Amino acid sequence: MAELFNVLTVDEARAAIAAHLPDKWPHEKVPVLKSLGRRLAAEVRAVDDVPGFDRSTMDGFAVRARDTYGATEGMPAYVDITGEIIIGRRPEGEVKSGQAYRIPTGGMLPAGADAVVMVEYTEELDSRTIGIIKPVAPGENMVRRGDDIAAGEIALPVGHQIRAQDLGMLSSIGVTEVEVAVSLKVGIVSTGDELVNPGENPLSGQVRDINSHALYGAIAACGGAPRLYGIVSDNYEKLKDILRVALKDNDMVLFSGGSSVGTRDVASKVIDAAGKPGVLFHGIAISPGKPALGAILGGKPVFGLPGHPASAMVVFDLMVAPLVRMGGYPTGAKEIAMEFPLRAVITRNLRSAAGREDFVRVKLGYSDGRFFAEPVLGKSGLISTMVRADGLAHIPAGKEGVEAGEIVEVKLF
């Protein structure tokens, strides 16, 4: 068993878990419209060019650009209208020097044309001749074949999380099904003799269970499939039984509470005795959330989250959310930077212990082109501090705090 509170950094804790994760989570094929928010298990390549033809982006006239050079209002360039494009049809004929075709937005450019003059910059002399009063460059007011995506190009890479705009991309290349990672099933176990269900009236010394509901929402927001296993008392045999069931049912298990040093907190002992390699770390050099526990049992991650709501949510964001959302921890520079993408000015001095990363709840404001991060102060046992906050500001381990006016990196909730 990992030595209690022989703390690791966040990166070290992630590496300890990652070393035991499968190379690829289970995957399945789903219709594109059912893929929103899911993570691709296989890259998607374009079979065809998109668009599949040179296409106008304006109503106007398809021309040879060189015929318009030097055109002004005082000295228009005159061309003959020799054809008209019908939307959705292939053009007949060819635009030759001194000629133009009428073309609607989205129409296919005829052979010979390499630009489109907007109708606003033309004068109709008669039904067969126009004067162009503004020149165009080759490629202007049009998109060329393959400009959006070329045949054979990777449209979406492995691991990409499908967004609304991605559905449009997939439809443009004719993809109707995609291979996605199966949503991870995550079991949630709340531990503690002091907990009662939210619908009950707590007696003196009891509190309603907060963490199971907060974690349920956090897992669902990451694209996972949460499952509640209720409240279990601080009893070794009961915790052992529920862990066995939860491991059988799920890809990952979260224990809320039971990771600290109290004599009644037995979850860490139960987890470590349940299989190999067992507990990999018990303590992370962060605040809040130091008592966090991480283990691997039967190839499945198991986490012991602190009982205090703010601590539990911070540890979830750092250790659990990347696994549920991405199937692993960020490794590339862009992925790492995107964890805390917002830069804001901290509004007050904050102290931090050397060698520890602090994650401060902050409320954001905006003024004079800058974001301001106002710390939401309060102990980690208060869920209201998380509700009032917009995100977490990061104070790195190498600093002993920040002064008002310094720039901090912020992760939005």
Exposure string for 86-123, b = 16+ CB within 10 A, e = fewer? eeeeebeeebeeebbbbbeeebbbbebbbbbbbeebbe
Work out the pLDDT band at 272, boundaries 50, 70, 90.
Answer: confident
What's the pLDDT score for residue 260?
53
Question: Averaged over 279-294, what is the pLDDT?
Answer: 94
Residue 191 scores a pLDDT above 80: yes
Mean pLDDT of 28-43: 93
pLDDT category, 264, cuts 50, 70, 90? Answer: very low
Given the DSSP bridges, would you call strands 300-305 and 293-297 parallel, antiparallel or unpaired?
Answer: antiparallel
Rg of the chain, C-alpha, whole Å: 30
pLDDT value of residue 338: 87
Nearest C-alpha neighbor of 192 from the set 305, 52, 288: 305
The 3-state secondary structure of the chain, one letter per residue: CCCCCCCECHHHHHHHHHCCCCCCCCEEEEEHHHCCCCEECCCEECCCCECCCCEECCCEEEECHHHHCCCCCCCCEEEEEEEECCCCCCCCCECCCCEEEEECCCCECCECCCEEEEHHHEEEEECCEEEECCCCCCCCCEECCCCCECCCCEEECCCCECCHHHHHHHHHCCCCEEEEECCCEEEEEEECCCEECCCCCCCCCCEECCHHHHHHHHHHHCCCEEEEEEEECCCHHHHHHHHHHHHHHCCEEEEECCCCCCCCCCHHHHHHHCCCEEEEEECECEECCCCCEEEEECCEEEEEECCCHHHHHHHHHHHHHHHHHHCCCCCCHHHHHHHCCEEEEECCCEECCCCCEEEEEEEEEEECCEEEEEECCCCCCCHHHHHHCCEEEEECCCCCEECCCCEEEEEEC
pLDDT at residue 317 in the model: 95
Checking if the pLDDT of 2 tops 60, the result is no
Mean pLDDT of 82-87: 96
Kindly tell me if the per-residue pLDDT of 87 is higher than 60: yes
User: Can you read off the two tokens belonging to residue 300?
Assistant: 């499945």
Q: Name the residue among 147, 317, 334 with its Cα closest to residue 219.
A: 317
Which pLDDT band, with edges at 50, 70 and 90, does 406 fall under?
A: very high
Please name the amino acid found at residue 214.
Answer: A
Q: Give the pLDDT confidence score for residue 77 in this predicted structure.
A: 97
Decide if pLDDT at 409 tops 90: yes
Q: Is the pLDDT of residue 68 over 90?
A: yes
Q: What is the mean pLDDT of residues 8-30?
A: 91
Question: Could you give the C-alpha distances from 315 to 135, 272, 275, 296, 363, in angstroms and in order?
Answer: 60, 19, 23, 17, 19
pTM comes to 0.81
301-311: average pLDDT: 94
User: Are the CB atoms for 50 and 146 separated by under 8 Å?
Assistant: yes
- Given pLDDT bands bounded at 50, 70 and 90, which one contains residue 5? low
Q: Residue-wise over 194-224: b if at least 16 C-beta within 10 A, else e?
A: bbeeeeeeeeeeeeebbbbbbbbebbeebbb
- Cis ω on the peptide bond leading into residue 277 (within 30° of 0)? yes
Report the alpha-carbon distance of residue 413 to residue 394 in Å, rounded. 13
Each residue's pLDDT tens digit, 118-170 = 999 999 998 899 999 999 999 999 999 999 999 999 999 988 989 999 999 99
Q: How confident is the model at residue 249 (pLDDT cuts 50, 70, 90)?
A: very high
Q: Name the band, by pLDDT with cuts 50, 70 and 90, for residue 4.
A: low
Kindly report, residue by residue over 373-383, the tens digit of the pLDDT: 999 998 888 89
Asked whether the predicted pLDDT for residue 263 surpasses 50, the reply is no
The proportion of the chain whose per-residue pLDDT surpasses 90, expressed as a percent, equals 78
pLDDT, residue 168, reads 95
pLDDT band of residue 255 (cuts 50, 70, 90) is very high
* Domains and their CATH numbers in the chain: 10-25+182-333 (3.40.980.10), 29-50+153-181 (3.90.105.10), 55-143 (2.170.190.11), 340-412 (2.40.340.10)
Which residues neighbour 248 within 8 Å (Cβ) at sequence distance 6 or greater? none
Nearest to 24 by CA among 237, 236, 182, 205: 182
Q: How many CB atoms lie within 10 A of CB 153?
A: 13
Residue 256 has pLDDT above 70, yes or no: yes
Confidence of residue 234 (pLDDT cuts 50, 70, 90): confident
Band (332; pLDDT cuts 50, 70, 90): confident
Burial status of residue 382 (CB atoms within 10 A of its CB: 0-12, 13-18, 19 or more): middle
Q: For the ranges 90-94, 310-314, 351-355, which has the lowest average pLDDT?
A: 351-355
Mean pLDDT computed over 319-332: 90
Q: Decide if pLDDT at 25 tops 90.
A: no
